[in-house]
Structure 1
Amino acid sequence: MEAGVEDPSRMPEEGSPRQRLQNNPVPDFPHLLNADGQYLFCQYWKPSRPPKALVFVSHGAGEHCGRYDDLARMLMELDLLAFAHDHVGHGRSDGERLVVSDFQIFVRDVLHHVDTMQKDYPGLPVFLLGHSMGGAIAILAAAERPGHFAGMALIAPLVLPSPESATTFKVLAAKVLNLVLPNLSLGAVDFNILSRNREEVENYNSDPLVYHGGLKVSFCTQLLNAVSRVERGMPKLTLPFLLLQGSDDHLCDNKGAYLLMDGAKSQDKTLKVYEGAYHMLHKELPEVTNSVFHEINMWFSQRTAETGARCPP
């Protein structure tokens, strides 16, 4: 893994869809090489003082880690070292756009990145922060390594898909089609359901690194597999977590938030539901987004205030 960059918002190469071959030259941007020989574009937000903890930021489906620059900079101001990568098939990273053979690949790559950072910063506690699909990845990473993480903050995590996007018929159809037409497009997501903030919707729509194409049957099937795995993994969760959810989320059913609160064994767990808010709470109407940033700021501040807290090796 290459060293972090001075400007974490630096985005080398303009462009979008990409699928690098494994024998291509090493890229000239901060990267991680995963177990499949694919390059993952990485970003690091390093505080000016020695960090109190590490925080991996896990982005959602179709987007990229650069969209979390404002959250990561806030964490950096708390003397936390935030780090992230574009998941395979997303943003600057290798792989066919929004194609993954197994959802576990996303989880595996996150754990690999965490392990790499812990070698450079031994003894520091490690937290997770995830949104939407990135929230499901964070939950599964925590469930796979009970006791390893110091806590996680979740913004509208994928626990249950909304009834609108995953009716019983659609779920069954996706499973059947995945056997015969895995590359069939089921259509693109209507970005207007992501946020009530029209400016943020336009920013999302105009971002060249965001995937604007149709969701393939195979990818939707992997998201459904992730939902099943999250449900099975809940009893393994014992770490502290903060869960933020919009009541009018049209992608991730808010019932999933309550399911996670009931299913996790964690003693320290907090749920805050924003009435009327959509999916991207961190890019919603100002009153919602300001509250989200405040909640995350306070939660991390409180849980990193104690000196001497250490994560298991």
Structure 2
Amino acid sequence: MPELGAAPRRSPQGVPYADLPHIVNADGLYLFCRYWEPGSPPRALVFISHGAGEHSGPYEEIAQRLKERSLLAFAHDHVGHGQSEGERMNIKDFQIYIRDVLQHVDLMKSRHPNLPIFILGHSMGGAISILTACERPNDFAGVVLIGPMVQMNPDSATPFKVFMAKVLNHVVPSLTLGSIDSKWISRDKTQVEAYDADELNFHGGMRVSFAMQLMGAVNRIERDIPSISWPFMILHGDDDKLCCISGSKTMYETAPSSDKKIKIYEGGYHALHHDLPEVVESVLKEVTSWITERLPTSASPQPQGL
């Protein structure tokens, strides 16, 4: 409870959290949440994990499609992102993202017991999704990954660059590297313009310390892939300049899961769910079909009487 007379906690945009759906994480930081609840009893829960520098708002279209299938989609803006508290796009430990997802998942499980749970993650959110499912492999009915960060791009992870990043992280961890080049987000110029105009997105440069956390997450994924047994589907564009497709191929080829799928979009850019209209439609169909096909029959809608 806030102290008597204390000013209400506000989002980075100045809105009191009392007026926003939110959870408070283990560090006492307020995380802005979104919920897309179907009109009928939900058949499953789907947590949506957004990527670095963005927020949960741009997943409205995917969430609405899930909602139409009687799936309850929910999300929060990760620490330091969007309408959540925390230093912008900076984290002292990547594990915080995973811990917060598990906290939110547990909350929704307590409200909707016995429902299957899925995770959908894009970009860095894909890395969060993979590591979250690896931490609790029996909790999740499946993981959907769109352009996930599984490996660092080869040109940015040469031994010399990794060595220099480690040195800089000790000397000047707050030094900023280049920012995300929005032209590689989508082949649809209106989507790129929307990304650039969205004030909830972080448009600054990435800190060396944050890059080191991403590198550490990728190393963890590499170690965990040989133990992945949960169902997963990967959707990746073969012209993705931001998250290397070779990581997705490696995960698909080497993970021992007996239920796995990869679909590669020729010429596709990074955010396939915001790419050319025909790609977006394909992605929405792939995601909703894959999840609904993995629901127990008892979770399917009952046929109407004649």
The normalised TM-score by structure 2 is: 0.91
The answer to whether the 8 A contact 2:91-2:210 is kept is yes
Residue identity (%): 54
Amino acid aligned to 2:72 = L
In the aligned structure 1, how far is the partner of 2:187 from the partner of 2:160?
A: 29
Identify unmatched segments of 5+ residues in structure 2: 1-9, 301-306
Deviations 1:213-240 (A, max 9, x none): 0100010110000100111111232111
In the aligned structure 2, how far is the partner of 1:132 from the partner of 1:189?
A: 12
Structure 1 position 124 matched with structure 2 position 124: no
Shift of 1:165: 3.6
**Number of the residue aligned with 2:28:** 37
In the aligned structure 2, how far is the partner of 1:306 from the partner of 1:170?
A: 51
The answer to whether the 8 A contact 2:11-2:85 is kept is no
In the aligned structure 2, how far is the partner of 1:270 from the partner of 1:279?
A: 18
In the aligned structure 2, how far is the partner of 1:163 from the partner of 1:191?
A: 20
In the aligned structure 2, how far is the partner of 1:228 from the partner of 1:116?
A: 29
The answer to whether the 8 A contact 1:147-1:238 is kept is no
The answer to whether the 8 A contact 1:249-1:278 is kept is yes
**Number of the residue aligned with 1:170:** 161
1:228-243 superposed matches below 5 A: 228-243=219-234
**Number of the residue aligned with 2:244:** 253
The answer to whether the 8 A contact 1:164-1:250 is kept is no
1:76-225 superposed matches below 5 A: 76-225=67-216
**Number of the residue aligned with 1:66:** 57
Amino acid aligned to 1:71 = I
The answer to whether the 8 A contact 1:132-1:252 is kept is yes
Deviations 1:58-92 (A, max 9, x none): 00000000110110010000000000000000000
Deviations 1:169-203 (A, max 9, x none): 32222111111101001121211111111110110
In the aligned structure 1, how far is the partner of 2:17 from the partner of 2:181?
A: 36
Shift of 1:266: 1.0
Shift of 1:254: 0.7
Give the SS at the match of 1:307.
Answer: helix
Identify unmatched segments of 5+ residues in structure 1: 1-12
**Number of the residue aligned with 1:276:** 267
Shift of 1:303: 1.3
Give the SS at the match of 1:231.
Answer: helix
In the aligned structure 1, how far is the partner of 2:155 from the partner of 2:284?
A: 28
The answer to whether the 8 A contact 1:161-1:251 is kept is no
The normalised TM-score by structure 1 is: 0.89
**Number of the residue aligned with 1:299:** 290
Does 141-150 or 297-306 show the bigger shift? 297-306
Deviations 1:23-57 (A, max 9, x none): xx754211011000000000000000000000000
- The RMSD of aligned alpha carbons is 1.8
Moved beyond 4 Å, runs of 4+: 13-16
The answer to whether the 8 A contact 2:11-2:84 is kept is no
1:4-19 superposed matches below 5 A: none
